[in-house]
Amino acid sequence: MKTILETNRLLLREFNISDAESFYELNLNPNVIKYTGNSAFKDIDEAKAFLENYSDYQRNGFGRWAVINKSTEEFLGWCGLKYDEDLNETDIGFRFFEHFWNKGFATESAKACIGYGFEKLNLKTIIGRAMKENIASIKVLEKIGLQYEKDFNFDGLEGVIYKIENKNIR
């Protein structure tokens, strides 16, 4: 398993098939996927198929990564960057088990991902999308330096787009 990033408390690594059960359980909680536009996986096999077919690493050289607690080796959720070819933009995203909310894990991992995107990948801009009522995610985006850009239609609901520019690229 390839570790991509390390923070004080966390390891971020590429997904693998053994994450299927955690992935399945993560999306089972309606509170976790409430603002995502995603639905739960039908079963562990569907989560496994998703992971087997996850091709962002090969295609773009980066993607969403598993977030692991260094001291307990527990899967906390995921965080990472995602390139959208149609929009030609990269977004930061994160999703954690509810019992790990409000412990700073999203902020810590997302901040590391922004640094990686700018320093290692030389990205010019990273955006963050959230539903307007998802106050917790918006707070994380603001804490890691993104600023409000505009409103948008998020699957028929009100959404916001936040943005950060790489200061080293003019």
Q: What dihedral do alpha carbons 83, 170, 162, 151 form, nearest 10°?
A: -100
pLDDT score recorded for residue 37: 87
| pTM for the model | 0.96
Of the chain, the percentage scoring pLDDT greater than 90 comes to 95
8 Å CB contact between 57 and 14: yes
Q: Which residues pair with 65 in a beta bridge?
A: 79
First CA to last CA across the chain, in angstroms? Answer: 35
Domain range enclosing 33 = 3-165
| Residue 19 located in a structural domain | yes
- Domain count across the chain: 1
> What per-residue confidence (pLDDT) applies to 2?
85
What is the chain's mean pLDDT, rounded? Answer: 96
Residue listed under structure tokens 């990273």: 126
CA dihedral 26→58→160→140, nearest 10 degrees, is 60
Pair 114, 92: CB distance under 8 Å: yes
Q: Is 156 helix (H, G, I), strand (E, B) or coil?
A: coil
Rounded Cα distance, 81 and 133, in Å: 22
Task: Measure the CA–CA gap between 155 and 4, rounded to whole angstroms.
Answer: 32
> Three-state DSSP class for 39?
coil
Can you tell me the distance from the alpha carbon of 28 to that of 20, in angstroms, rounded to the nearest whole number?
12
Asked, for residue 170, whether it belongs to a domain, the answer is: no
- Asked whether residue 151 is assigned to any structural domain, the reply reads yes
**Residue 168 — pLDDT band, cuts 50, 70, 90?**
confident
Q: How far apart are CA 109 and CA 142, in angstroms?
A: 14
What does the pLDDT read at residue 169?
Answer: 79
CATH classification at residue 67: 3.40.630.30
124-136 pLDDT, tens digit per residue, is 999 999 999 999 9
